[in-house]
Amino acid sequence: DTGVSQDPRHKITKRGQNVTFRCDPISEHNRLYWYRQTLGQGPEFLTYFQNEAQLEKSRLLSDRFSAERPKGSFSTLEIQRTEQGDSAMYLCASSRAGTGDTEAFFGQGTRLTVV
Partner 1 sequence: AQSVAQPEDQVNVAEGNPLTVKCTYSVSGNPYLFWYVQYPNRGLQFLLKYITGDNLVKGSYGFEAEFNKSQTSFHLKKPSALVSDSALYFCAVRDTGAGSYQLTFGKGTKLSVIP
Compute the least distance from the CB of residue 85 to partner 1, in Å: 19
For residue 7, what are the CA distances in angstroms to 26, 68, 79, 98, 107? 14, 15, 15, 28, 10
Residues 45-64 within binding reach of partner 1 (CB under 8 A): 45, 48, 50, 55-56, 58
The b/e string for 35-70 (b: 16+ C-beta within 10 A; e otherwise) is bbbeeeeebebbbbbeeeebeeeeeebeeebbbebe
**63/103 with CB nearer partner 1:** 103
31 near partner 1, judged by CB under 8 A: yes
Q: How far is the CB of 66 from partner 1 (least distance, A)?
A: 18
Which one, 14 or 100, has the nearer CB to partner 1? Answer: 100
Per CB under 8 A, 104 contacts partner 1: yes
CA 15 – CA 98 distance, rounded (Å)? 42
| Interface with partner 1 (CB under 8 A) | 4, 31, 33, 35, 40-45, 48, 50, 55-56, 58, 91, 93, 100-101, 103-109
